[in-house]
Amino acid sequence: MAAAPTGLPVIIIGAGVAGLRAAQLLRHQGVPATMLEAKGTIGGRMCTVPYHNAWLEMGASWLHSYHQHPFRTMVKKLGLRTVFTNYNQAHTFPGVQRDDTWHTKLQQAIKRAAKQPKDAPLESFLTNLSTSMRATAMLEAEMYYGASLNKLSGWNFDEGEETKNEDYLLLGGWVHWLQAQAKGLEIRLNTPVATIEATKAGLRVTTTHGTTLEACAVINTAPLGVLQQPTQQAALLPALPPRHRQAIAALGMGNLEKLFFTAPIPSWPRHDVMLLNHPLLPLWYDVTPLLGTPMLMGLAGMGALEALPKNPSAADWLALATPALRQMIPHGPLPTMVAHSAWQSDPFSHGSYSYYKVGSSPADRKTLQKPWLGGRYWLAGEHTDTAYPANIQGAWRSGERVAKALLKEMSLKTR
Ligand SMILES: Cc1cc2nc3c(=O)[nH]c(=O)nc-3n(C[C@H](O)[C@H](O)[C@H](O)COP(=O)(O)OP(=O)(O)OC[C@H]3O[C@@H](n4cnc5c(N)ncnc54)[C@H](O)[C@@H]3O)c2cc1C
């Protein structure tokens, strides 16, 4: 059994999926691991908010690439149900410009981009787009990759092993799955890490409450958006190698927010997926049958956020959403807003999930997988996974990768 070489624990920053998985594996091998989580809850960007007898997911909802998803059997064992989301049966409202030959056009763009000597925005490779094709392209880019067509890398925007059209929505609240994962782990909530310094024995972690902890190694799972903040970089990433710095800057942090509306009885058309004629809020879901309470869920991408004031309020969202709601409910009272996410302004997230910005590539994520400070400082999180970046599967794999690498290092050092 491996043991921490100095007798000091491994400190894991963040109790999202990546952190939980790393802590599980370390604990399993008897390596003490302390998790420091800034917020009052575990899960990070898996964030379930209770609403009456239902559960609203403000972050991740779907198991993408379902058939090879590592959580598939785990959720079943917990008695949680999953439901396939059939985008091919989306209901389109009058005026919606949609072109289902988009995937062919996209393949052509990928081939065109690959022939170019330099990376450029995906938009520049999608030539001669009809209005309907452009609307489809924007929707796919913003809702799936979390970024606009003019920000996504034409070369690499789609890098990874994601299987399309295998999206299953989890019912009953991710919170239950998270609680099961966190069992037996040492997690200190409401404990934001303020600084990390390298010392002779290892690393010193100081929280914003002034508590100091010594560690043999640190695994930092803070989201890319946090690492990109100059003040956070200076405080949390001591002796950051230049190539890591470049990789953090090269990748993009996308934006996606969720909006939830309710009414005493559903007054909207009852389709699982709805495509509206709204340039900024085109994608809506009737999640009433899934939640067992009347609920509409809308997704808002980068375009919507760029059109709104910084840190949009509920009133800002409502003003933007009203024309969309009026398409679904032409007469009578509109549903009321229950909640909206705010990942963009969340200081422990600064965005929704990572994407390939123009000029970035999988080499950047691979760089972020490399430890520094003599193998004592590691990054984990969805942004460091090349196969399933931007999703919970990627985050899980990243925690697993770092824990296994660290355990290997430790057994070598203790041998
Ligand atoms: C709106 C939205 C919808 C999404 N939908 C899906 C989906 O349907 N399916 C899917 O697979 N993925 C989805 N994702 C992406 C998925 O949620 C993330 O990829 C995944 O949860 C990331 O896990 P992580 O462990 O890498 O990071 P996080 O979950 O962000 O965990 C990092 C943790 O670090 C903490 N932290 C940050 N700074 C500090 C600090 N200084 N000190 C202490 N703690 C700190 C944070 O509070 C956080 O808890 C969605 C994300 C969003 C925002």
Domain boundaries, the chain: 10-49+173-251+362-414, 83-169+254-340
Q: pTM here? A: 0.96
- What tens digit of pLDDT does each residue of 131-184 get? 777 788 888 889 999 999 999 999 999 999 988 889 999 999 999 999 999 999
pLDDT band at 3 (very low <50, low <70, confident <90, very high): very low
348: pLDDT strictly greater than 80: yes
Residue 46, amino acid: M
By most ligand atoms within 8 Å of CB, the mutation choice from 85, 144, 392, 402 for ligand 1 is 392
Helices (H) and strands (E) in the chain, counts: 14, 21
Render 342-403 in DSSP notation, one character per residue.
Answer: -TTT-TTTSSS-EE-BTT--HHHHHHHTS-BTTTTEEE-SGGG-SSSTTSHHHHHHHHHHHH
85: pLDDT strictly greater than 60: yes
Share of the chain above pLDDT 70, in %: 98
**At 14, is the secondary structure helix, strand, or coil?**
coil
**CB-based pocket (< 6 A), ligand 1:** 13-19, 36-39, 44-46, 59-62, 64, 192-193, 221-223, 226, 256, 258, 341, 343, 348-349, 352-353, 381-382, 390-393, 395
Looking from the CA of residue 18, the nearest atom of ligand 1 is 25
Specify the pLDDT at position 414. 56
Specify the pLDDT at position 163. 86
* Residue with CA at minimum distance from ligand 1 atom 6: 60
pLDDT band at 97 (very low <50, low <70, confident <90, very high): confident
Q: What is the mean pLDDT of residues 293-319?
A: 95
Q: At residue 193, what are phi and psi to the nearest 5 degrees?
A: -85, 130
2: pLDDT strictly greater than 70: no
Specify the pLDDT at position 110. 84
Specify the pLDDT at position 132. 77
415: pLDDT strictly greater than 80: no
By most ligand atoms within 8 Å of CB, the mutation choice from 12, 353, 384 for ligand 1 is 353
For residues 388 and 102, which has the higher predicted lDDT (pLDDT)? 388
220: pLDDT strictly greater than 50: yes
Looking from the CA of residue 257, the nearest atom of ligand 1 is 1
Looking from the CA of residue 39, the nearest atom of ligand 1 is 47
Q: How far is the CA of 16 from the centre of ligand 1 (A)?
A: 6
Share of the chain above pLDDT 90, in %: 81
- What tens digit of pLDDT does each residue of 113-126 get? 888 999 999 999 88
72: pLDDT strictly greater than 90: yes
Q: What is the mean pLDDT of residues 335-354?
A: 97
Fold of 10-49+173-251+362-414: FAD/NAD(P)-binding domain (3.50.50)
At 110, which helix (H) or strand (E)? helix 102-114
Q: What is the mean pLDDT of residues 1-29?
A: 86
Looking from the CA of residue 389, the nearest atom of ligand 1 is 19
Specify the pLDDT at position 353. 98
User: Which one of 2.102.10.10, 3.40.630.30, 3.30.70.1520, 3.90.660.10 gives the CATH number of domain 83-169+254-340?
Assistant: 3.90.660.10
* Residue with CA at minimum distance from ligand 1 atom 11: 391
Specify the pLDDT at position 106. 81
Name the DSSP class of 142: I
Using only C-alpha atoms, the chain has a radius of gyration, in whole angstroms, of 22
Q: How far is the CA of 256 from the centre of ligand 1 (A)?
A: 12
Residue 44 corresponds to which tokens in the numbers above?
Answer: 């990070």
pLDDT band at 1 (very low <50, low <70, confident <90, very high): very low
CB 169, CB 297: distance < 8 Å: no
368: pLDDT strictly greater than 80: yes
17: pLDDT strictly greater than 70: yes
- What tens digit of pLDDT does each residue of 249-285 get? 999 999 999 999 999 999 999 999 999 989 899 999 9
Q: How far is the CA of 323 from the centre of ligand 1 (A)?
A: 31
According to DSSP, the residues that pair with 13 across neighbouring strands are: 36, 220
Q: At residue 121, what are phi and psi to the nearest 5 degrees?
A: -60, 145
Spatial distance between the Cα atoms of 254 and 225, rounded to a whole number of angstroms: 9
Spatial distance between the Cα atoms of 47 and 33, rounded to a whole number of angstroms: 23
Specify the pLDDT at position 4. 52
Spatial distance between the Cα atoms of 269 and 257, rounded to a whole number of angstroms: 22
Longest CA–CA separation in the chain, Å: 74
* Residue with CA at minimum distance from ligand 1 atom 1: 59
